[in-house]
Each structure stands twice: as structure tokens, then as C-alpha cells.
Structure 1
């Protein structure tokens, strides 16, 4: 399974000169926790998260015994996204294996990664996207794999797909190794498929 299979697209973005308030409003309206930041040409220049936007925005409780944040003059608060965003963000590619994407997120402690095709921003993938893909039922996985195989075979059920624990088993006959490879790839592109096994048809 690749990043392009589960990424969100088109992407909600914010410009680097946008106000912190407008970025926060967009996050709230779209139900996202981070936004790619682009320049006037649409080129990715950063990422801004909920945490970035909250910085210096929540006043400390004056009655608290422990003050975690120093008093901040409201006039000194960052006003534009460019002042709080993370520059040179980590990004991934559409063809990156989702397991590698998840590993990068954990290693760098980020919750979302923009997806770049060359220099073009084509999507965004979050931890939530990965989890959603991983928890699909075996029935749903088998049905989607079966649909893709039937389409490839022009509607004839040359192969039978079954799933257990996220592992898909495809039974049937193959014309050659190329066809075996095609069937494997088709099954693996279904979001949530952990592995694919090819088995010969059962003896009559």
C-alpha cells in the first residue's frame, strides 16, 4: 500500500503571509490538525500545526502556583503563519510505502506529512489516515481485492480473494509470472492489505 492510496487530496493549504487566526479558523473548519504552508507560486515552504498556532496564544492562569509560560505582551505575539511554521518540512512521495511513512512520522514525531510529486503538492497523509486504512475488516478487504481482480479479468472471476488478519490469499491459475506479479500488485494496492499470498486452485 502506497501513500497515494490513502492520502487526502486536494490539500487544504495556507499561505505563509496568512494570519495565525485565519489558519486556526481553517483548521477548525476542515477538521485537520496541520496545514501545508505554500508561497505565492504554490510551492511548499513549511508546515503549521495546532501546537504552532497556540504558541503565545493561551494566557497563563494568574492564580496558578506554577507558571509554565511567561507573560507575553499581546503586541509581541506572532501574527503571521511564517513566524510560527516549521520550515523545510519533512515530506513523502506518492509511491512511498505506508509502512515507511508511518516509521518517518514516529521517528520525527510528526502527525502529518505533505505528499510531493516532484515539486508539486498533491496530497497530505496523517496518522489518522494510516490508522483508518489499517482497521478495515477482512470482509471489506476481500471484497475490494475481488473487485479489482474481476475488473482486470474483464469481469470473469478467474481468481478468488479471501482475507484473514489483513492477509489476502488469492487462489487461481496464472498464464505466466508476469500475470502473477500483476495480481499481487493489484491486491497490495488495496488500503489495509498487510500481505498477499498466491495459491493454486483447490483440487476438485
Structure 2
């Protein structure tokens, strides 16, 4: 699964010149883990998190600018990165969110919640999406039965050859919430 499939967009951002108290309002009221700090061209300069704000609470927060407390440089990822790679980065570095950048410009953000959400999708939702993917691939011939239990997808039916089995398995794995695939010939 790719980052582009789970990232949140549009992204709520702040500027380095913004007052920290305004960024804190965005963080707390929006329930965000962090706000990317961007320039006029939407290039990521850093990120301001709740932890950054807490560290700044020792002084007069009303005059502190985001640039004074933001974390920079910041780890960024591409929309084509694999979600498991992002999860590893988050765990390794203790990050709660990571900006997503394409061609140097902010296009989304991924939080821990975004990474986890596909793995707890209801089975009926996963099944519906798998059926649609297979129907689109198969030209509406309805050759396979799809069953989902606990994120494990079982596809039963007739497969032309091992190449088609591989294609079907790969297509099914593109659906968020699929943990594994079991193909069974009838």
C-alpha cells in the first residue's frame, strides 16, 4: 500500500512567521499531531508539534513565533513510499506525523492513525472494494467469490494460469485493510 492511498489532504499548515499561540489553537482544536510549517510555495520548512509548543510554554507564548520552536529539518516522505516504510520511520524516530512531499511541494500528511486505519477496516467494506477491483479487472464476468474474515481475503474461482493468480493476488493486496490473500481454485 502506498502513502498516497492513506495520506490526509488537504493539509492544515502554518507559516514560520505565525504566532505559536495560533498554531496551538489549530493543533488542539483540530486534533492534529503536528502542523507542517511551509513557505509561500508550499515547501516544507519544518513541523510544529504539541511537544514543541509545550517546550515553549516557559515564556510568554503570545509573542513566540512558530519559527522559534518548530522542529527543522523535518523528515518527509513521497506519495509513492510504501506504508510499512513510513511505519518504520515513525517508530524509529518517535514521530506522530510525517509530511508528504512531491516535487518539493507539500501534498499531504500521514499520521500514525492514517497508517493504522486500513488495518481495522470492517471486513464488509474490504470485501466490497476487493469485489470492485476484481470486477474491473475481469470485465464484469463475475468469475470469483470473495470472502473476508479478519482482513484475510479468500478469492475462490477459476484462474487461467499462474500469471493470472499473481495478478489477482496483487490487485487484492492494493485494497486498504487486506492483511493477506488466499486464492482457491474451484
* TM-score, normalised via structure 1 length: 0.81
Distance in 1 (CA, whole Å) between partners of 2:182 and 2:86 is 23
Q: CA deviation at 1:30?
A: 2.5
Partner of residue 92, structure 2: 107
- Going from structure 1 to structure 2, the CA distance change for 1:128 and 1:73 (only over 3 Å counts) comes to closer
Per the alignment, residue 40 of structure 1 pairs with 40
2:133 counterpart (148, 154, 159): 148
* Secondary structure, counterpart of 1:134 in structure 2: helix
Structure (1/2) with the larger helix percentage: 2
**CA–CA distance in 2 between the matches of 1:143 and 1:196?**
15
Q: Is the 8 A contact 2:79 2:100 kept in 1?
A: yes
Q: How far, CA to CA, are the matches of 2:116 and 2:181 in structure 1?
A: 20
Per mean C-alpha deviation after superposition, the further-off stretch among 169-178 and 4-13 is: 169-178
CA-CA distance at 1:171 after TM superposition: 2.3
Map of 2:12 onto structure 1: 12
Give me the CA root mean square deviation. Answer: 2.1
Q: Is the 8 A contact 1:78 1:84 kept in 2?
A: no
> Given the superposition, is the C-alpha separation of residues 120 and 195 from structure 1 closer, same or farther in structure 2, using an over 3 Å criterion?
farther
Give, in angstroms, the shift of residue 73 of structure 1: 4.9
Number of matched residues? 186
The higher radius of gyration belongs to: 1
Query: TM-score of the superposition, structure 2-length normalised?
Result: 0.88
Partner of 2:117 in structure 1?
A: 132
Question: Does 1:74 pair with 2:78?
Answer: no
Residue 132 to residue 179, structure 1, CA distance change in 2 (3 Å): same
Q: Counterparts of 1:176 and 1:45 in 2: how far apart (Å)?
A: 51
Q: Which segments of structure 1 move beyond 6 Å, counting only runs of 4 or more?
A: none
Task: Call closer, same or farther: CA 1:10–1:29 in 2, change over 3 Å.
Answer: same
Inter-CA distance 181–88: structure 2 relative to 1 (3 Å threshold): farther
Structure 1: state its 5+ residue gaps.
Answer: 58-71
Aligned position for 1:168: 153
